[in-house]
Amino acid sequence: MSDSDGKKTLGLMGGPRSGQVKQSFSHGRTKSVVVETKRKRVVVPKPVATKPGGGGSSARGGDPSKRPAGITDAELERRMKALAAARAREAEETAQREADEKARAEERERRRAEIDAKEREEREREEALKAKAEEEERRKREEAAIKARANAPVAPAATPADLEAQTADSPRGKSSVAPRKVDDRETDRNAKNAKTREDSRRSGKLTLNQALTGGEGGRQRSMAQMKRKQDRARQKAMGQQVEREKIVRNVNLPEAITVQELAVRMAERVADVVKFLMKEGVMATQNQVIDADLAELVIEEFGHKVVRVSDSDVEQVIDQVADDPKDLKPRAPIITVMGHVDHGKTSLLDAIRKAKVVSGEAGGITQHIGAYQVTTEAGTNLTFLDTPGHAAFTSMRARGAQVTDIVVLVVAADDAVMPQTIEAIHHAKAANVPMIVAINKIDRPAANPTKVRTDLLNHEVVVEKMSGDVLDVEVSALTGQGMDSLLEAIALQAELLDLKANPDRAAMGAVIEAQLDVGRGPVATVLVQNGTLKRGDIFVVGEQWGKVRALINDKGERVNEAGPSVPVEVLGLNGTPEAGDVLNVVDTEAQAREIAEYRAHASKDKRAAAGAATTLEQMMAKAKADQEVAELHILLKADVQGSAEAIVQALEKIGNDEVRVRVLHYGVGAITESDIGLAEASGAPVIGFNVRANAPARNAASQKGVEIRYYSVIYDLVDDVTAAASGLLSAEVRENFIGYAEIREVFKVSNVGNVAGCLVTEGVARRSAGVRLLRDNTVIHEGTLKTLKRFKDEVPEVQSGQECGMAFEKYDDVRPGDVIEIFEREEVERNLS
Ligand code: GDP
């Protein structure tokens, strides 16, 4: 690298030695290089034995022949000395350790003796106390016996001697299965105490049982435990009653319970329960669910009483007592606005709200919570549900919450009765709720309210102007015209209904809206239907529960309570419920939790069993079993009005004295989610005549277990319904949909005709299967396939997600956007119960 010019070499400090190497090159040039070498570690062989205090070196250690290389005499001597010193120190330490050990053992012995003495003392005191208590007890019993004998000399009274014999005879063995009394447990505990004493005497060995029962034999007690014991002893010495009286509890036992909940219900320590279960051979953690039989064993072991409750009994804590008529006070009616899209539902709700907010309440800041309350000029309170549309209405009804008292049917005066108007009429009729017709947009030049009225006649809605009993009012949501008359009409209708509720009871209400608010957690708008909801109330709502943390009214103000027909936002839920869920106030959190858990469980079961909920067969089976359900409800959707009406007429002719068919609702067009909602609420199957359910409706139906049946021939349809109605269902030809394909492009191919280039969107396309051509969810052709091609090859099957070419046998009118439904038929034996 460099000639030795005084530069330092790079290298390890200290250890390495450096040296010079001379390099020679051609032409006589030389170069001297500094190299460094590492010193090797020298291993010194250990001297074999050195006598402590031998001073200096031993004979062998000093032997220069055995001396490791490179060590001077002086160094060796130094090392030997150090070694000797270390040895001496070690010996000293050992001696010290031994002495310490001995002292500790003595200390331990002394402490144990102390504890033993203390225990003995305690035991004696305990026994003395107990003897005293027993003596007293005996005296009492004797007195009672004497009294009893005096009162009823015929009855064989137990003599004191008998009683004594009884106490002496109480079982000593441990039988955990047989129910035992608390007295038995007392003796049992004594026996256990004796055993523990024995164990402590035979200390040193740890048996499995000791380990499990935590006996002192195997373990040192913790300081805290000793302290507790001393405290107890001190209290006892001061004459205080330490042993609390055993309270026998009635333990409600559902079909399954967690170990922790069981302990809570018995008011025992979870650890004790776990310990007992271990002894029974069940290794359970506190969150583990055990069945009722095992739980019963535990409850009996702890000396409590078992009260078995079936799962659904948990709901019984909900206050279901009917109100005394004298407690009932008038309440505001609850109104839902329904009608065809764009006929002015939202505008009407806004107009009512604004009119009232401006003229009446101060502030005027309103917030949308799903419902609001207004007061009419005459002072009547009206509650409006602020969620127009039929979905909300039916979903609530389907969940068992009949919230609405009055339906306001909005029909635009410049339009006519439209499909959704008809749907609304059917919804109201199915729910048995009175209607008020609001003929809206009366300000428009094209308004023709008379036409609306006559139109309604066709749907069995006879308004007052047509000498019927349905109130009708001409309004304009835009100008506010007729608004007061509408409110008056509602108030009048409400008066007729004579709506009442009892504000002085645990609240019950229905959820109108619920969402998870980022800042506030789950929030639900609840319409109180009975009772009064207060802050701090514990409630269960659907599958959720909670404790009312805050109540916020429709004006955004915090309130302390909400009475009947008052909508409020409720904060303090543990989860988000669903619209239509019913809220009930209960007494304790445990009850609320239990009910919520039970419901969650039950609904899971129900979902699992869905798919077979509302079939024609079941409807009829139910109709047969339950004499009151003698009507077969049906929802019908058809491709054209003519066939729908023909089918309805044919269906309504079916039936006899026992059963008849009632078409709840019929319409033209695809089966929608709203239809499924109504079907679920009314427990009816949906029949599609040459129409199909759209995708959301299909999903909803399979989720809710609503049966959808498709027909293409009126005769088949009527035949099936007749068969269902008479309970004579023969073997059924069932259609299974195996796939759907969407037509992307249409090619003209000579000799073949039109070939549809499709994408299989669902399931499979099968060459041998039947096919239907759907346009806007309406069947326009049914037949078979002439060809099914994948690329250039004819194939038997094409899977979902793949493209293929299809051509129909004897049918050519295929268009892009059409859907091909692929189905197979199978014969199914019906089993009617
Ligand atoms: P919804 O779909 O039933 O809720 O109907 P909307 O309330 O959204 O109303 C649909 C349209 O009709 C809106 O453009 C409104 O401005 C209009 N509209 C509603 N009520 C009236 C009315 O009384 N008179 C007039 N001229 N227009 C109205």
Alpha helices in 291-409 (DSSP H): 292-301, 345-359, 390-398
Cβ count near 16 (within 10 Å): 14
Cα four-point dihedral sign 426, 432, 437, 438: negative
CATH 3.30.300.30 fits 332-498, yes or no: no
Q: How many residues does the chain have?
A: 833
Q: Are 574 and 546 in contact (CB under 8 A)?
A: yes
CB of 732 sitting under 6 A from ligand 1? no
Q: Are 610 and 704 in contact (CB under 8 A)?
A: yes
Torsional class of 558: left (φ above 0), alpha (ψ -120 to 50), beta (otherwise): beta
Residues of the chain with pLDDT under 70: 1-31, 33-71, 145-221, 239-245, 309-314, 317, 319, 356-367, 388-392, 395, 398-400, 604-630, 655-659, 726-734, 827-833
DSSP of 246-300: PPP-EEEE-SEEEHHHHHHHHT--HHHHHHHHHHTT----TT-EEEHHHHHHHHH
pLDDT at 448: 93
pLDDT at 220: 59
**pLDDT, tens digit, for every residue of 59-77?**
444 444 455 556 677 777 8
pLDDT at 176: 42
Q: Which of 403, 387, 354 is nearest to 515 (CA)?
A: 387
Instruction: Calculate how far, in angstroms, residue 435's C-alpha sits from the geometric centre of ligand 1.
Output: 20
Domain ranges of the chain: 70-142, 250-309, 332-498, 624-726, 732-828
Report the interhelical angle of 73-151 vs 182-201 (nearest 10°).
Answer: 150
- Ligand 1 atom with the smallest distance to the CA of 410 is 3
Separation CA 381–CA 333 (nearest Å): 8
Cβ count near 128 (within 10 Å): 10
pLDDT at 617: 58
Q: Which of 567, 527, 564, 571 is nearest to 546 (CA)?
A: 571
| Closest residue CA from atom 18 of ligand 1 | 344
- Ligand 1 atom with the smallest distance to the CA of 343 is 3
Q: What is the DSSP letter of 660?
A: E
Three-class DSSP category at 609: helix
**pLDDT, tens digit, for every residue of 720-748?**
887 777 664 444 556 778 899 999 999 88
Report the interhelical angle of 714-726 vs 616-625 (nearest 10°).
Answer: 30
Non-local CB neighbours of 832 within 8 Å, separated by 6+ positions: 617, 620, 621, 727, 729
Q: Which two tokens stand for residue 31?
A: 């170069």
Q: Which two tokens stand for residue 457?
A: 């006649």
Cα four-point dihedral sign 806, 811, 814, 818: negative
Out of 1.10.3720.10, 2.40.110.10, 2.40.30.10, 3.40.718.10, the CATH code matching 732-828 is 2.40.30.10
CB of 682 sitting under 6 A from ligand 1? no
Instruction: Calculate how far, in angstroms, residue 344's C-alpha sits from the geometric centre of ligand 1.
Output: 4
Cβ count near 162 (within 10 Å): 13
Separation CA 745–CA 733 (nearest Å): 33
pLDDT at 528: 94
Instruction: Calculate how far, in angstroms, residue 536's C-alpha sits from the geometric centre of ligand 1.
Output: 42
User: Are domains 624-726 and 732-828 of this chain identical in fold?
Assistant: no
Q: Please, is 90 exposed, middle or buried when counting C-beta atoms within 10 Å of its C-beta (0-12, 13-18, 19+)?
A: exposed
| Closest residue CA from atom 9 of ligand 1 | 344
Q: Which residue out of 337, 342, 411 has the highest number of ligand 1 atoms within 8 Å of its CB and is therefore the one to mutate? A: 342
- Strands, DSSP E only, in 690-777? 708-711, 732-749, 753-766, 770-775
Alpha carbon of 253 to those of 132, 313, 314: distances in Å?
38, 10, 10
CB of 342 sitting under 6 A from ligand 1? yes
Order of strands, sheet of 686-689, starting from the edge strand that comes earlier in the sequence:
660-668, 631-638, 686-689, 708-711
CB of 477 sitting under 6 A from ligand 1? yes
CATH 3.40.50.10490 fits 624-726, yes or no: no
Q: Are 530 and 505 in contact (CB under 8 A)?
A: yes
Q: Which of 539, 599, 529 is nearest to 562 (CA)?
A: 529
pTM over 0.85: no
| Closest residue CA from atom 17 of ligand 1 | 344
